[in-house]
Amino acid sequence: MLSAGVAVAGCLVASTLTTGQNPAPQGLPTSGQHHATPAASAPHSIIGPVYKRATHGANGIIFSCQDPTAAVECYSPSQIRAAYNITPVLNSGITGAGRTIVIVDAFGDPTVADDLNVFDTTFGLPAAKLNVIAPQGAPVFDPNNTDEVGWSGEIALDTQWAHAVAPDATIDLVVARSDEDADLVAATQYAVDHRLGDVISQSFGDAESCVPPTVAKAQHKVFVQATLEGITLIASSGDNGAAQLSCDGQSYLKSVSSPASDPLVLSVGGTHLTADASTGAYQGETAWNDTFGASGGGLSTTFREPLYQIGISGLHGRRGVPDVAYNGDVNGGVLTAWSQGMPANVGDIYIFGGTSAGSPQWAGVTALADQKVHGRLGWLNPALYLVAHTGVRRQTFHDVLTGNNTVTLTDANGNPQTVTGYSARRGWDAVTGLGSPNVQGLLALLPTAHNATRQAVGRYVRSAH
């Protein structure tokens, strides 16, 4: 293993398989996930890395996976910043300074600070301002527990890529004592009660019908509280396309993911991004759907069509997921320092993907927007839909027009199960939402759109309570 601070480290592809009804970290999709078999055993997220060692690149390429001819490609922070037009915003002095991003995860990661340092050193980023908070007591990390190791990868991804987008924002990592629904909601409640930050990122979820009713009620209540206090809520939409694991872990069902389906949450789907290998310049996107996973999306059976989605065809009166999208494919994933919670591994670099790569980065975008307006924008959904439906859409979003989230998975008995999903289309769709952001253009118009929707937002949130 290479030591911390070394520019070239092992470049590996991370993977997980969800095996139960606990919310699973959604940023570690499995190679061959469409053929994964759900287990009937304890509800844990299993990590099983499939790795590919990097070699020194040429012509300024640090990792071999940054070569466009590589079997599995990857992107660095500078490339993602260029692709989504974040660089001009940072160069203007909007860097997230004075804002705080809250990331809710489970179990903790004893090497999170070391991994952040490796990430910053490798990619030339400023040191991160990180606080780790365990409101239910600090869990004792077990490196032999694959569930906990998987969550440590989620923590590495979330903290580093929120930092990559908003490098001067403070990051408050709030750690739940387990990945049980109730514990994750309690961690979120703590963050809201203590007003820890301006935006909360949640990279986990399970099928709506698998969330216990009492927990679902408590979760929505804390989301109302957060929204009334001006806190933005963001969640990833899932990595199994239009499917979610059934509550008994035996099969799959057509479902959207909670908490992403709550109308007060900005739900983030996944794309396959194509960007220039040397400059990172945006070249195009399709809906993410390959052997690594697929963008979660569909229609809620719990929530009705919210005010900001009125007029969108095909919703049938239901809340549609996701709202927006971001790069999520492991093939074209993001380089992330991850030592699997073990100090001896500090210095390893992996390729990560999944829709949870997008949730913390959208949180970073929100921190940039908050700094620009010198305050909290809060609930973004109405303003984002307003911007997207105006004549300036091309200046603010990349509309993803190709692909779908139909998947074929294997149930616990080894039988293939096809879940028919949705197709990308012009405007909003249940695979990539409104599309991915052109951050410079979006931040130029978002404050005005937010002001235009503010009164309607207040009335809607109070009625939701």
C-alpha angle with apex 79: 386 to 46, nearest 5 degrees? 85
Q: How confident is the model at residue 25 (pLDDT cuts 50, 70, 90)?
A: low
Please say if the pLDDT value at position 31 is more than 80.
Answer: no
Provide the angle, in degrees to the nearest 10, between the axes of the packed helices 381-388 and 439-464: 130
Rounded to the nearest 10 degrees, what angle do helices 439-464 and 213-228 cross at? 120
CB neighbourhood size of 448 (10 A): 12
**pLDDT given for residue 375 in this prediction:** 96
* 99-135 tens-digit pLDDT: 999 999 999 999 999 999 999 999 999 999 999 999 9
Report how far apart the first and last C-alpha atoms of the chain are (Å, whole number): 52
Kindly state the tokens that stand for 431: 């695979």
Structure tokens at 145: 């527990």
Distance, in Å, from the CA atom of 213 to the CA atom of 219, rounded to the nearest integer, reads 10
| 461/419: higher pLDDT | 419
- Backbone phi, psi, residue 272, to 5°: -100, 115
Tokens of 73: 């490609």
> Is the CB of residue 337 less than 8 Å from the CB of residue 63?
no
Longest dimension (CA), the chain: 58
pLDDT band at 153 (very low <50, low <70, confident <90, very high): very high
> To the nearest 10°, the Cα dihedral for 276, 281, 286, 291?
40
pLDDT for the residue numbered 328 = 94
Mean pLDDT over residues 189-196, rounded? Answer: 98
Q: Judging by beta carbons within 10 Å of its beta carbon (0-12, 13-18, 19+), is residue 440 exposed, middle or buried?
A: buried
The average pLDDT across 171-189 equals 96
pLDDT of residue 23: 59
Q: Looking at residue 67, what is its pLDDT?
A: 83
Give the residue with greater pLDDT, 385 vs 7: 385
Topology of the domain comprising 13-49+73-464: Rossmann fold (3.40.50)
Q: Provide the CB-side half-sphere exposure for 443 (13 A, CA).
A: 25
- In this structure, what are the phi and psi dihedrals at residue 42, rounded to the nearest 5 degrees? -55, 145
pLDDT of residue 390: 83
**CA 138 → CA 110, 143, 394, 397, 461, distances in Å?**
10, 15, 46, 40, 34
pLDDT at 397: 96
Is residue 30 pLDDT above 50, yes or no? Answer: no
Local structure of 186: helix, strand or coil: helix
Is the pLDDT reported for residue 464 higher than 70? Answer: no
Strands 232-236 and 199-202: parallel
Kindly give the pairing relationship between strand 232-236 and strand 266-275.
Answer: parallel
CA distance 99 to 371: 7
Q: What is the pTM of this model?
A: 0.90
What is the pLDDT at residue 284? 97
The confidence score (pLDDT) of residue 48 equals 33
How far apart CA 265 and CA 220 sit, in angstroms, is: 10
Alpha helices (H) in 273-420, listed in sequence order:
358-373, 381-388, 393-396
Distance (Å, whole) CA 204 – CA 179:
9
- Over residues 56-76, the pLDDT tens digits come to 455 556 788 888 888 889 999
Tell the residue number behind the tokens 């979660």, with chain if given.
296
In the predicted model, what is the mean pLDDT of the chain?
A: 87
Average pLDDT rounded to a whole number, residues 310-323: 96
pLDDT at position 58: 52
The residue with greater pLDDT, 34 or 452, is: 452
pLDDT band at 36 (very low <50, low <70, confident <90, very high): very low
Whole-number pLDDT of residue 61: 62
pLDDT in the model for residue 69: 86
441-449 average pLDDT score: 93
pLDDT at 75: 94
Confidence bin at 394 (pLDDT 50/70/90): confident
Q: Predicted confidence band at 310 (pLDDT cuts at 50, 70, 90)? A: very high
Q: Which of 367, 260, 282, 278 is nearest to 327 (CA)?
A: 282
In the numeric block, which tokens belong to residue 143? 């490196």
Question: Are 31 and 353 spatial neighbours (Cβ–Cβ below 8 Å)?
Answer: no
Task: Round to whole Å and give the CA distance between 445 and 392.
Answer: 9
Integer-rounded Cα radius of gyration of the chain: 20
pLDDT at residue 452 in the model = 86
3-state helix, strand, coil in the chain (%, to 5): 30, 25, 45
